[in-house]
Amino acid sequence: MMHDGGWGWGEGMFFGPLFMIAGLAPIIVLILFLTARLSDRRGGSTPLRSAREIPDERFAKGEIQREEYEERRQALGASRPLP
pLDDT over threshold 80, residue 11: no
Q: Given this model, what pLDDT does residue 78 score? A: 65
- Cα angle vertex 40, ends 62, 50, to 5°? 40
3-state secondary structure 7-62: CCHHHHHHHHHHHHHHHHHHHHHHHHHHHHHHHHHHHHCCCCCCCCHHHHHHHHHC
Q: How far apart are CA 83 and CA 66, in angstroms?
A: 11
Q: Given this model, what pLDDT does residue 26 score? A: 92
pLDDT digits (tens, 9 = 90+) for 12-61: 577 777 888 888 999 999 999 998 888 766 655 556 778 888 888 999 99
pTM of the model: 0.39
Q: How confident is the model at residue 66 (pLDDT cuts 50, 70, 90)?
A: very high
Helix (H, G, I), strand (E, B) or coil at 76: helix
